[in-house]
Amino acid sequence: MSENKTPEFLTEALKFGINLGLDRMEKLTSLLGDPQKDLKAVHVAGTNGKGSVCTYIASVLAASGKKVGIFTSPFLERFSERMRIIDGREGLDRLFSDETYGEIGSSDLERLSEKVREASDRMVSEGFEHPTEFELVTAICFLWFAENDIDVAVLETGLGGRLDSTNVISSPLCTVITSIGYDHQDRLGSTIAEIASEKAGIFKTDCPVIAQDPSEMILSEEDAFTVRNVLSEKAIVCGAPITFVTSGDTDVRYEDGKMCFSYENDPNPYTSYLLGEHQVRNAAVAIAAVRTIPGIFQEDIFYGISRAKWKGRAEILSTDPLVLLDGGHNVQCAESLASLIKDIAPHEPLRAVIGVMKDKDYEGMLKVYLDKEIRFTDIIAVKVDNPRSLESTELCDTISFMYNNRVDVEAVDDAVYAFRKAYIRSVNDKLPLIVTGSLYLIGQIREEAIRCTTTNSMLQG
């Protein structure tokens, strides 16, 4: 079985959908010997920035010499991306040059999938509901991390927090809350208070909580006030000391596809391949989180931040022409992308390839680009290879209507072909090309985008 391929057992479990609750996960892990109980973990929840914060944290911990497991979702190109072990600073350096380093291998994935499948079958025979796909994957991850005797696990929640399958861990080293916003309201609640409460469900007694300050979340003043109150009250009830983290007045500049930024009046700037002022805020949260763990030094933090990579999130593949991939899929993400565009291409008209899920607020995302006066010359609206994808023609019509036909828009069902078409145009006229709207879109076109930009760079060289 290839690392690129999702095990059939897990694919079949997708039919059980999203079914929040801990009863199934507690039974499943019990049958597997509770592999999560001995894991020392950093547990991360939030609406946006979870993956970036997990990446920063894992990179710093590895830079300090720790053997670190990291569990994130969804994957972009390979199923095996979802779980990875970074073995110390040497492992971090290998990951920096080889993005497949440390991912679970096919033999381990096949063997552990079979073990979890047997436990799942036993559950069902005893009258329990069948575990969801995410619960099964989480169980595989716990087994793999336990087998490899890792020092710290960095765990990203899948959805919410309180009822997320990762929340069967009982004594994390610390819990982390990233930016909170309106997403998955059908599951987490219609109000920002309800959503924040679900995220805060990962708090544990005497376990430090590191939370992004709500004033730096992309929220109204009223919503930010509500989120702060909810998180503070939940922390008090749980007996969990909470720290709200701000990035402060930072000086940010971009050079050679990297970002340099100041933080905490340190005379030495941080360097990051994760771009945008929102990533400065994510870095601040990650720095505060790793400082709760003994044995982490400032040099480890500098090095870890500089080696962190998180593909498909404001990822620059080329600078001539500029090609940027961003899997932002909600209004907050669009706000962050628009801000970054203003920083790195302030006077340029842009070209875009956009594909979205029909259950997301894609009109709200498009409105952000309008309100921020992001200038598009042409946009290719695509259908993503996902059952939830909005039809390309419907997206095309929406864009044309919202932009009052001031932008050339066309509908293309083949996303890879759409990228090639847009990229060739940008090679000829040098307009920056932005690909955004969904992580599924980025996963679908990224390999082709790397091939195209690498080939063009070699020809230019």
Torsion angle, alpha carbons of 282, 283, 284, 290, to 10: 110
DSSP letter for 206, please: T
> What are the tens digits of pLDDT across the range 124-178?
999 999 999 999 999 999 999 999 999 999 999 999 999 999 999 999 999 999 9
Confidence of residue 213 (pLDDT cuts 50, 70, 90): very high
CA gap 460, 40 in Å, rounded: 49
Mean pLDDT for 101-114 is 96
* Residues near 180 by beta carbon (within 8 Å), at least 6 away in sequence: 46, 47, 192, 195, 196, 199, 214, 217, 219, 227
In this structure, what token pair is assigned to residue 300?
């480890």
> What are the tens digits of pLDDT across the range 361-370?
999 999 999 9
DSSP notation for 256-304: TTEEEE--TT-SSPEEESS-SHHHHHHHHHHHHHHTTSTT--HHHHHHH
Confidence of residue 212 (pLDDT cuts 50, 70, 90): very high
What domains are there in the chain, each with its CATH number? 8-307 (3.40.1190.10), 315-460 (3.90.190.20)
Q: Which of 178, 144, 201, 173 is nearest to 55 (CA)?
A: 178
CA gap 242, 159 in Å, rounded: 22
State the pairing for strand pair 83-87/67-71.
Answer: antiparallel
Confidence of residue 1 (pLDDT cuts 50, 70, 90): very low
Please check the confidence at residue 398 and state whether its pLDDT lies above 60. yes
State the pairing for strand pair 315-319/322-326.
Answer: antiparallel
Q: Which of 233, 234, 242 is nearest to 201 (CA)?
A: 234
Main-chain dihedrals φ then ψ at residue 376, nearest 5 degrees: -100, 135
Q: Quick check: 337 and 326 in contact, CB under 8 A?
A: yes
The confidence score (pLDDT) of residue 2 equals: 41
DSSP letter for 164, please: S
Main-chain dihedrals φ then ψ at residue 7, nearest 5 degrees: -55, 140
Judge residue 193's burial from the number of C-beta atoms within 10 Å of its C-beta, 0-12 exposed, 13-18 middle, 19 or more buried.
middle
Q: Tell me the average pLDDT of the chain.
A: 95
Judge residue 160's burial from the number of C-beta atoms within 10 Å of its C-beta, 0-12 exposed, 13-18 middle, 19 or more buried.
buried
Mean pLDDT for 331-339 is 95
Alpha-carbon dihedral sign for residues 254, 257, 262, 268: negative
* Residues near 67 by beta carbon (within 8 Å), at least 6 away in sequence: 85, 86, 87, 88, 91, 148, 149, 150, 151, 152
CA gap 118, 108 in Å, rounded: 15
Amino acid in the structure at residue 217: M
CA gap 168, 287 in Å, rounded: 25
* Residues near 221 by beta carbon (within 8 Å), at least 6 away in sequence: none
* Residues near 114 by beta carbon (within 8 Å), at least 6 away in sequence: 9
The size of the chain, in residues, is 461
pTM above 0.85, yes or no: yes
Amino acid in the structure at residue 124: V
CA gap 233, 213 in Å, rounded: 15
